[in-house]
Chain A
Amino acid sequence: MSSVALESVSLSYPGGHLGLADVDLQIGDGEFVALVGPSGSGKTTLLRTVAGFITPTAGTVRIGDAVVASPGRSVEPERRGLGMVFQQHAVWPHWSVGRNIEYPLRRAGVSRDERRRRVTEALDLVGLAGAERRNPATLSGGQRQRVAIARAIVARPRVLLLDEALSALDEPLRDRLRLELRALTRDLGLTVVHVTHDRSEALALADRVVVLDGGRVQQVGTPAELLEDPASVFVAKFVSDAAILPGSLDAAGFRADGHPLVLDRSRIEGAQHVRDSAVELAVQPEHVRAIPDATGTAIVASSLFGRGGDDLVLEWNGLEVRSRAQGARCAAGTRVCVEIERASVFRRADTDSDAPDTAAGASTTNSGTAGSASARRRTVSVGA
């Protein structure tokens, strides 16, 4: 078990495209970290950089105390002492289950008796006791993924890397394996880096979640921090499906541009950090309440049944807002009035939330009014 540390790691491709841009990340010993982001955000690239399949063009990667990658030098994947589970399990089809799992031990020069003992132990851990002699072709998808997990943990890796490890499985099975995986890694005290495109999976499993976009770290935080205190409009949009409204902020509160929405300053936090008057308001679905009202200004455009409450899309004076309030049930076509319990405000960036492709000169196209990027957040809940 080891910590992982990335220091200003960048990866630029020959065409000038940045796979990773100045990534700083500390993963503590025994910590479970999930990497999320839209496709192309660099989460798999980051994982493969830790694995050693990709060598960064700048910065250093440390596993434990050892530097495994620095400019011009890269320790090969097989010498990094890792375990890895792939999306398509990658169980070697020409060997039996037992032979598959014992392979890392064989490479490490572990004696035959010890190998047998540890394979049995690993199979026990993943709930496949006694499957040593089976042919992988006779296993189901979930069982093969269990074999892959056993193979990844059998040699007590310093870090366990999961590359969309559960994504190829059916939903109920994925759910169960998710629980088992969490219990297993916690019991063994494993340091885990988990790449997933499933946001709720990341929030459910991880001690800390890393949100990536355009090869940059957008935010690192616990699942609760991510929901309550998004660092940027992008994080609020990506993690929470927040609706974004441009508007202006004054002493009274927020006034949307070209929209009747007005929000009292007491329900907005982060306001003290934003000096300019042109701002963007991020409203999370959980904080939007739709109250059926024949005179309401919004109409329910679509309603999906959810376990805790319906997932609504509201058409509100040309603005599309999602609502996912607890216990609310509302059919499509209902006229409603909208109540916003709280929202967070961010300094407005004139450029869209798109990834800044050119690393240099990122500020040149941004709004002229200066304001350091770090000084544009803070949300505090306000009682409804």
Chain B
Amino acid sequence: MASSSNTLARPLAGPTDSGRARGASADSPTRARYNGLGAVRVAMWSAVAALILVPIASILALAVTGSGWSTLADPDVLEAAGNSLVSAAVSGALAVVVGSALALLLERTDLPGRRALRLLALSPMLMPPFVGAIAWLSLLGPSATVNTFWTQRFGAPLWNLYGGDGVIFLLTLHSYPIAMIIVTAALRRVPADLEQAARIAGSSAPRALWEVTTPLLRPAMLSSFTLIAVSNLADFGIPSIIGLPQRYVTLSTLVYRTLQSGTADDPLAVVSAIGFVLLVIALLGVLVDLLRARTRVELDAQAGAPALLPLGRARVPVGVLTAVAVLAVTVLPLITLAIQSLLPAPGVPLSAETVTLASFERALTASGTLTGIGNSLMLAALAGLICGVLGLGIGTIVTRTRARSNSALLGLSLLPQAIPGLVIAVAWLVIAPRIGLYNTPWLILCAYLTSFLALVVQSVHAPLSATPTTAEEAARISGASRLRALWDISCRMAVPAAISGAILVALTAVRELTLSVLLLSPGSQTLGVVIFNLQQAGAYNASSALSLIVALVGLAGLGLTARTPR
């Protein structure tokens, strides 16, 4: 694969190319440059192969040869699969509806307080889903203040969050910001003159928005639906915390139970069969998305800022309504979470005497908490560093060199985004014994790398592919070799993007639960697992306290990184 790139090199590199192709003895510096670039390419390919190809291949191999297929017909498995599919699809659709509506409202109308609302509306994304689940339980759990009050008053709780509807609600809540971001970006790419042309042609401002702009957002809505549905398909935190108490089992909680209880003869074969099915569903989604992408319309460069749609008399009421809704889903659960973490036990009324920091103390001194925090920090830092370096290399090579293998390398490195985390965890479980990483924290690190490499590749790829190749051509003309130009120009340009990508990886990894809980081994528990275990053990106030710390640190950290690159 390395050699194929060289023969396809740009005309500028003509003499060196032919020299190498003929195998003639070119002067040594030329050969060295050549091998340099080839070596980098080979290194990147090996990393991608080890981190992505091998796990996927091994899960496929075990699924095909293994004995797990019979269990797929098990009614429990079928029910869990149904629950997974329904919760993922419904929450995906709802998230797209909510996210698109918010994007239109906050981007294209004269709603008061748009800027503040936009930031607030994005905040659920900054919280790990399982922390969100714990926070919402403190608001709408069966013994939470709202529901106990309602029960006393009307004889039944207002809404018990436990169960399938709660799972769908929380999945929607945690994924609508993704749809909002994608749709907003698409909205900003729609040239303003398209709507102006519609106005001139006789359509009113709302009609122009509806008939011209909204149809152009359809591809963005579809791809955000795919992305959200795939990631919700295998979320572990929300269904295990909200769904399990009501026996609402999804595939991810089923896999967890199978692995933990050891009731199955060959648990790995069973879960790899489940993983295979999930993989196929996810890849089908990607395929549909890719096929749609072919028919995607082409838009010209932005021309002028679009006019805002005046809401007229509805401006203030709509603004108040939006603000109340956004505040209710973002700030309210944080407040109740804070209250719960300040109380000694659930159900204790809040008063000056009952407020205590005991929950924080208990949470932080509980066995394993500090180990968990230490493990998480170490794993996250390593994952950020390694993903940053690999992502920078892959992103630069695929955007700035010409080779037939580039699109394969890029596609492969982005593929894990479309693979549910559950499948990645199972894949590494399958490989672990063979590479001697079984029962070590390094297994979790490997899974992090597989899952999060795409984050850096993407953040490097986007800005680099927008820069014209003349940047390097100028360096070549000025006397830099190919690898030199790539290093001096492209890599340098991409470093800030790689760093912010790496920070994003570290921040995501430090609060991760799905991968860590499935790959758990003695002494390797992570922060997410600690909180999850406290919650499972019924130490709700302690888990709330720790969740609050994670939520606030996460909000602050991600808020800071979101600001710096711009």
Q: Do A and B come from one complex?
A: yes
List the interface of chain A (C-beta within 8 A of B): 51-53, 76-79, 82-84, 86-90, 92-94, 103-104, 107-108, 137, 148, 151-152, 155, 161
Q: Which one of A77, A88, A104, A108 lies within 8 Å of B193 (CB-CB)?
A: A88
Question: What are 27 A-B residue pairs whose CB atoms fall within 8 Å in the complex?
Answer: A51-B200, A53-B196, A53-B199, A53-B307, A76-B204, A77-B196, A77-B199, A78-B201, A78-B204, A82-B200, A83-B200, A84-B196, A84-B197, A86-B303, A88-B300, A89-B300, A90-B191, A90-B197, A90-B303, A93-B216, A93-B298, A93-B299, A94-B297, A103-B198, A104-B201, A107-B202, A155-B202
Q: Which 7 A-B pairs have the closest CB atoms?
A: A107-B202, A93-B297, A104-B201, A90-B193, A77-B199, A90-B197, A84-B200
Say which size band chain B's interface belongs to: 20 to 34
Given contacts A84-B196, A90-B191, A90-B196, contact A107 B307 (CB under 8 A): no
Complex Cα–Cα for A53 and B307 (A): 8
Contacts of A94 in B (CB 8 A): 215-216, 297
Among B205, B212, B299, which residue has the most Cβ atoms of chain A within 10 A?
Answer: B212
By beta carbon, the residue of chain B nearest A83 is: B200
Judge whether A108 and B202 touch: CB under 8 Å.
yes
CB distance from B204 to the nearest CB of A (A): 6
Contacts of B432 in A (CB 8 A): none
The answer, yes or no, to whether B203 is at the interface (CB within 8 Å) is yes
The answer, yes or no, to whether B194 is at the interface (CB within 8 Å) is yes
Q: Which one of B193, B301, B307 lies within 8 Å of A86 (CB-CB)?
A: B193
Given contacts A88-B300, A90-B191, A90-B193, contact A107 B216 (CB under 8 A): no
Given contacts A76-B204, A93-B298, contact A88 B199 (CB under 8 A): no
Contacts of B194 in A (CB 8 A): 90, 92
Given contacts A78-B204, A104-B202, contact A87 B303 (CB under 8 A): yes
Contacts of A51 in B (CB 8 A): 196, 200
By beta carbon, the residue of chain A nearest B216 is: A94
Complex Cα–Cα for A161 and B307 (A): 19
User: Given A76-B204, A90-B193, A151-B197, list of 15 further CB < 8 A pairs?
Assistant: A51-B200, A78-B204, A84-B196, A84-B197, A88-B300, A88-B303, A89-B300, A92-B212, A93-B216, A93-B297, A93-B299, A94-B215, A103-B203, A104-B201, A107-B202
Contacts of A79 in B (CB 8 A): 202
Complex Cα–Cα for A82 and B202 (A): 8
Complex Cα–Cα for A8 and B194 (A): 31
By beta carbon, the residue of chain A nearest B302 is: A88
CB distance from A330 to the nearest CB of B (A): 35
Contacts of B199 in A (CB 8 A): 52-53, 76-78
Complex Cα–Cα for A103 and B201 (A): 7
Contacts of A161 in B (CB 8 A): 200
Contacts of A93 in B (CB 8 A): 216, 297-299
Complex Cα–Cα for A53 and B203 (A): 13
Complex Cα–Cα for A151 and B197 (A): 9
Complex Cα–Cα for A89 and B300 (A): 9
List the interface of chain B (C-beta within 8 A of A): 191, 193-194, 196-205, 212, 215-216, 297-301, 303, 307
Complex Cα–Cα for A364 and B462 (A): 54
CB distance from B190 to the nearest CB of A (A): 10
By beta carbon, the residue of chain A nearest B200 is: A84
Contacts of B200 in A (CB 8 A): 51, 77-78, 82-84, 104, 152, 161
Contacts of B298 in A (CB 8 A): 93, 137
By beta carbon, the residue of chain B nearest A101 is: B201
CB distance from A162 to the nearest CB of B (A): 12
Contacts of B204 in A (CB 8 A): 76, 78
Complex Cα–Cα for A93 and B298 (A): 7
Complex Cα–Cα for A86 and B193 (A): 7
Contacts of A89 in B (CB 8 A): 300
CB distance from B187 to the nearest CB of A (A): 14
Contacts of A151 in B (CB 8 A): 197, 201
Complex Cα–Cα for A87 and B196 (A): 12
Complex Cα–Cα for A148 and B198 (A): 11
CB distance from A220 to the nearest CB of B (A): 25
By beta carbon, the residue of chain B nearest A103 is: B201
Judge whether B307 and A88 touch: CB under 8 Å.
no
Judge whether A88 and B201 touch: CB under 8 Å.
no
Contacts of B196 in A (CB 8 A): 51, 53, 77, 84, 86, 90
Complex Cα–Cα for A107 and B205 (A): 13
Complex Cα–Cα for A62 and B151 (A): 67
Among B194, B202, B215, B297, which residue has the most Cβ atoms of chain A within 10 A?
Answer: B202
By beta carbon, the residue of chain B nearest A53 is: B196
Judge whether A86 and B197 touch: CB under 8 Å.
yes
Complex Cα–Cα for A103 and B199 (A): 11
Q: Which one of B202, B299, B301, B307 lies within 8 Å of A78 (CB-CB)?
A: B202
By beta carbon, the residue of chain A nearest B195 is: A90
Contacts of B197 in A (CB 8 A): 84, 86, 90, 92, 148, 151
CB distance from B564 to the nearest CB of A (A): 30
Contacts of B191 in A (CB 8 A): 88, 90
Contacts of A52 in B (CB 8 A): 199
Given contacts A76-B204, A78-B204, contact A88 B198 (CB under 8 A): no
Contacts of B212 in A (CB 8 A): 92
Judge whether B301 and A155 touch: CB under 8 Å.
no
Judge whether B297 and A78 touch: CB under 8 Å.
no
Complex Cα–Cα for A309 and B18 (A): 49
Complex Cα–Cα for A161 and B201 (A): 12
Contacts of B202 in A (CB 8 A): 78-79, 104, 107-108, 155
CB distance from A140 to the nearest CB of B (A): 13
By beta carbon, the residue of chain A nearest B202 is: A107
Judge whether A88 and B301 touch: CB under 8 Å.
yes
Complex Cα–Cα for A103 and B212 (A): 11
Contacts of A148 in B (CB 8 A): 197
CB distance from B434 to the nearest CB of A (A): 50
Given contacts A77-B196, A86-B193, contact A107 B201 (CB under 8 A): yes
Contacts of A103 in B (CB 8 A): 198, 201, 203
Complex Cα–Cα for A213 and B347 (A): 73
